[in-house]
Structure 1
Amino acid sequence: MTILTDHERAFQIFQKQLIESDYLKEVRFKTYAGLPFLYVLPNPENPREVIENEIKRAAAKGMKGKSLTLTMSFVRKNQAEYVYRIRFLVPQRKMFCCGNLCDDCIRFTNP
C-alpha cells in the first residue's frame, strides 16, 4: 500500500474530475522539465472561459481540505486544443526567526 502526500492526492482527484467532465472531450497530462502541462480538447460549443472555470472547479475539489493553492497559466492554443501549465503549490512556512518581530514568527507557533 502506497501512502500519498496531500499534493499527490489532490492531483489525482483533479485528474479524475477533469476526465469525468462533460465540458471536455479529451484531457492529457504531460510533464516537461519537471513541470506538469494539461492538454485539453474541449467540446466545440464551450468557450475558453468555460474550460478555465471547469479546470478551476476540478482543482478546488482536489484541494478541498488541504493547504494547497493552484497556479494555472495559459500556454497556447494548438488547433482545437488548449495547453495550460498547472501546479499545486504548498505554502511556505518560516523555518527560523529573522529577528524582525514578524507576526508569523516561528517562535510563536507550537512544533
Structure 2
Amino acid sequence: MNLDEIWKIFFQHLHTSSHILQYEQKNFAGIPFLYIDADMNTTKKEIDEAILASSIRAASHQKVTWRTSFVRNDGSRYVYQHRFIVPLQKMFCCGNNCTDCVRYERT
C-alpha cells in the first residue's frame, strides 16, 4: 500500500469524528500540516484522540508509523504537524546525486 492510500484512509476515518467540522491538509517545505476546525465545545484532548484513532486505523496492518505535533490553535481552529513515516524510505536529499533521490520523484 502506498502513502497516498494511507492518507486517504486517515481522512476517511477523521471525517467520521463528531468533534471535527472541517479539516484541510497543507504542505509547507514538504511537511504536512493539518488544519482542523472543531465545534466550540471541543477540547484539544478530543481532537488529539480523533487524530490518534484515525492514525491507528490508517496504519493498521501497514509498516508505517506516524508523528503528530501540536503547533497552535486559534479559537476552534487547531493546527498539527502530522506525518506518516515509511521505514527505509528516503525523506530528504543528501546532496550526493543518488539515483533514488527524492528530488526526482514524480508527484
- TM-score normalized by the length of structure 1: 0.74
Describe the superposition over 1:88-107 as per-residue Cα deviations: whole angstroms up to 9, x where unpaired: 001239xxxxxxxxxxxxxx
Describe the superposition over 1:17-66 as per-residue Cα deviations: whole angstroms up to 9, x where unpaired: 11232110111111111111000111222210111011010011100100
Kindly tell me the number of residue pairs found equivalent between the two proteins. Answer: 89
The structural deviation recorded for 1:76 is 0.9
Q: Does 1:76 align with 2:40?
A: no
CA RMSD, 1 decimal: 1.5
Pick the aligned partner of 1:66 from 37, 62, 66: 62
Q: Does 1:41 align with 2:37?
A: yes
Worse-matched range after superposition: 40-49 or 57-66:
40-49
Question: Partners in 2 of 1:19 and 1:31 — Cα distance?
Answer: 19
Partner in structure 1 of residue 50 of structure 2: 54
Question: Partners in 1 of 2:75 and 2:46 — Cα distance?
Answer: 18
The structural deviation recorded for 1:79 is 3.1
Question: Partners in 2 of 1:92 and 1:78 — Cα distance?
Answer: 36
- TM-score normalized by the length of structure 2: 0.76
What 5-or-longer segments of structure 2 have no aligned partner?
Answer: 90-107
- What amino acid sits opposite 2:43 in the alignment? P
